[in-house]
Each structure stands twice: as structure tokens, then as C-alpha cells.
Amino acid sequence: MILPIILGAATVALVLWETFETIVLPRRVVRPFRLTVLVYRGTWVPWRAIARRFKTDKSRETFLSFFGPLSLLFLFAVWAALIIIGFGLLYYGWSGQDPAHPRFATCLYLSGTTMFTLGLGDVLPHTWPERTLVVLESGLGFGFLALILSYLPVIYQAFSRREVNIVLLDARAGSPPTAAELLRRHAGRDSLEPLERLLREWERSTADILESHISYPFVSYFRSQHTNESWLAAVTAILDASSLLLACVEGSPPRQARLTFAMCRHTVVDLAQLFRATPPRNLPDRLPAAEFARLRTLLAEVGLLLRQDQESLAKLAKLRSMYEPYVEALSAHLYMRVPPWILGTEVTDNWRTSAWGRISGLALGAGNVPDEHSD
């Protein structure tokens, strides 16, 4: 029978090509139909819809945090199931000339036991084409398992590198990170060099996020440890701070701020394109005039003066328009909150809290850092 053979060969070829593009090929793949994209869209949309029904942020983030690891395991299961079905169709087609033609369920059983190399021997191939298929599928089963085992450490290494940089930003920019806190905590004398070093580190960190999330898009769905932190919030805070430094702060490191802004903007634009997250046309103003006035007052208290002439404000608005639509698009797709420019109320940093209480009365601004004697 020709039709089962054609369908089976096409199914196996499709899964093998998808596996190659997803795991082995380290670049973005753009084509109309991709099985992996279909699986993620079919699972993420209902998962996100269920998450919206949770009443508390903590329970919602906990539920969303399950999606990344579970979706990866589900994708592997879909691939394995399709390979078994594909080889089952091949067995069924090749055994069509056999007088004792087996049922399709029997062929699926032979395919499953061969794929997972069980070697039970209760169903045996009778023709040379069937025996050849058994050898090919058993070898493919070994290779498939080895590929998955080698792939998982790469995924978690990329996730770990990303989270280390986000945790380091906690004491430098607050929880959640904001441009106001980042600049306030790096204001004062001799602050130019630490601020420039931070921007340089985040230029490289964001480049790593772009490379790893383009090569392995699943990592984007892995949530951070705390409900008020995310890789998108961290990149947005760095973009906000770089925009302020370029447009409104005199004496700032313009070259490094420009390089960091370019890298961060490149990251959010490419990832929005990867997830086909269309930038919204009507954006909420994240920095209205009243909030900008609060921001100027806060930074002026630590000696950092912001220009508010028309040229500076126009430059700031232009810079914001270059990345905020893509940040909002990623926020809607990944269900991650975009941090404000300045917090409405004082929020305790994550490093100052624990299950037994929290540290109060210690500010990380204008050069103050915690030491081993802090309470």
C-alpha cells in the first residue's frame, strides 16, 4: 500500500527536520509552517488564559512558571509520538503484501517497542524492508534520547546565565527594577565609572539573552524566581535608564549608554519578531509629565539633574518610541509586567526580605551598600 508509506515517510521526515531546526540549528527559522511553533501556540494561549483567572500575583506566577519546563517535555513527547506513528504507517504499508496482514494497531505497537528499544520480541518483522525499518527506528530511538539528554543542560545553562544577571540587578535597580532606582543608586561622586561598567555588563548580558533566546525560544517562557522580576523587566529598565542618560543627563557616559541602548533595543525587536508579537498602535504613556516631574525631583535629591528643555524631551520621546512598542508587545505575549519608570510607592528589595521578616531602614542610594554588620 503506497499511501501509508508516503504518509509515514513524510511524518518521520517532518519530525526529524523539526528536531534539527529546533535543537541543532543555532539560528532563527522563518517559514510558514513549523510544528514546534504550532505546538507552543496551541498550548501557551490556553495556559495564559487560565493564568488570567488567578487572583493573586504569586499563584499566577507559580502557575506560569510550570509552562516552560512542561511545554518542553510535551514537545519531546509530541515528537516521539509522531515518529512512532510515522514508522507505524511504514510498517503497515510494507506489510500489505503479507497474507497475514497485521492491523495498524499492531504496527503501532511494533513501532513503539522498537522506538524505545524494548526488544520484547512478541511482534516480529517478516520482510527485509520491515527489518530494515526496525533497525533504522531503533537507531533513531537511541539518537533521539541522546539528543534530548544533551539538549536539556544547554537550556538550563542559558536560563541560569540569564537569571544570575537579573538577580545581580536587584540591589542595583530595585525590585522590580526601574530606571529611577538604577540612576538614584548610582548617583553621587565617583559614580560615573560604576554606572558605565554596569551598562557595559548589560550590553554583553543582553547580547547573551538575544543569542540564547533566538537559538532556544523555549527559554523565554521560563520565569524568574521572584514574582516582581523578569528578563523583560530587566531589559526594559536598562533601556529606560540608557534613554535618560542619552537625552537628559549631562556628563553621562554617552558612548556606552548608546551601545547598551542599541543592544537592548535589538534584543526586544528581534524577540518580538520571533514570537510574531505585533507592536500595539495605542500605547499607554509610561512617563507622563507628572511622573517625569517626580523622577526629576527624586534624582535631584541625590545630585543628578535632568534637563527638561524641548530638545531633550523630544530626544527622550524619540528614543522611547524605538523600543516601548516592542516591549509592550512582548509583555502581552509572555504575560510579563513592564516596570514603571518610577515606583508609585516604596517597595522592599528582594534581598531584604525572607520568610522570617525583612530588613528596613537601609537604602542603597548614593553609594550606600550593605555590609556584613547591617541589620
pLDDT in tens, 123-153: 777 777 778 888 888 888 888 888 888 888 8
Residue 210 and residue 325 in one domain: yes
- The verdict on residue 317 lying in a domain is yes
Q: 150, 183, 214: which is the final residue of a domain?
A: 150
- The verdict on residue 353 lying in a domain is no
What pLDDT score does 359 carry?
60
In whole angstroms, give the CA distance from residue 91 to residue 124: 11
Q: Smallest Cα–Cα separation from 22: which of 204, 151, 200?
A: 151
Contacts of range 124-127, beta carbons closer than 8 Å, 24 or more positions apart: 125/91, 126/95, 126/98, 127/94, 127/95, 127/97, 127/98
Classify residue 281 as exposed, middle or buried by CB count within 10 Å of its CB (0-12, 13-18, 19+).
Answer: exposed
- The verdict on residue 159 lying in a domain is no
Residue 21 and residue 140 in one domain: yes
Residue 41 and residue 112 in one domain: yes
Residue 140: phi, psi to the nearest 5?
A: -65, -35
In whole angstroms, give the CA distance from residue 177 to residue 233: 7
Residue 36 and residue 134 in one domain: yes
Q: Contact 187/243 with Cβ under 8 angstroms?
A: no
Domain that holds residue 278: 174-348
Residue 146 and residue 180 in one domain: no
Q: 150, 182, 217: which is the final residue of a domain?
A: 150
- DSSP letter for each residue of 132-200: HHHHHHHHHHHHHHHHHHHHHHHHHHHHHHHHHHHHHHHHHHTTTT-HHHHHHTT-STT-HHHHHHHHH
**pLDDT-based confidence at 117, cuts 50/70/90?**
confident
Residue 291: phi, psi to the nearest 5?
A: -70, -35
What pLDDT score does 30 carry?
66
Residue 227 and residue 133 in one domain: no
What pLDDT score does 372 carry?
36
Residue 345: phi, psi to the nearest 5?
A: -135, 160
- DSSP letter for each residue of 218-242: GGGGPPPSSTT--HHHHHHHHHHHH
> Mean per-residue pLDDT for 326-332?
96
Q: Smallest Cα–Cα separation from 241: which of 189, 184, 201, 285?
A: 184
CATH (domain of 21) = 1.10.287.70
Q: Contact 277/333 with Cβ under 8 angstroms?
A: yes
Which of 63 and 250 is assigned the larger pLDDT? 63
Residue 100 and residue 186 in one domain: no
Residue 116 and residue 199 in one domain: no
> Mean per-residue pLDDT for 361-369?
48
Count the neighbouring beta carbons within 10 Å of the beta carbon of residue 351: 13
- The verdict on residue 185 lying in a domain is yes
In whole angstroms, give the CA distance from residue 298 to residue 272: 33
In whole angstroms, give the CA distance from residue 202 to residue 219: 18
- The verdict on residue 160 lying in a domain is no
- The verdict on residue 139 lying in a domain is yes
Residue 82 and residue 213 in one domain: no
- The verdict on residue 365 lying in a domain is no
Residue 103 and residue 245 in one domain: no
List of residues 6+ apart from 370 with CB closer than 8 A:
171, 351, 362, 364
| Identity at 195, one-letter amino acid code | L
Classify residue 367 as exposed, middle or buried by CB count within 10 Å of its CB (0-12, 13-18, 19+).
Answer: middle
What pLDDT score does 37 carry?
86
Residue 102 and residue 215 in one domain: no
Residue 6 and residue 65 in one domain: yes
- The verdict on residue 314 lying in a domain is yes
What pLDDT score does 281 carry?
86
Report whether pLDDT(220) > 90.
yes
What pLDDT score does 261 carry?
97
Q: How many domains does the chain have?
A: 2
Q: 87, 117, 150: which is the final residue of a domain?
A: 150
Assigned C-alpha cell, 254: 554617552
Q: How many CA atoms lie within 13 A of 27 on its CB side?
A: 3
> Mean per-residue pLDDT for 296-315?
90
The neighbouring-strand residues paired with 354 are 357
Report whether pLDDT(186) > 90.
no
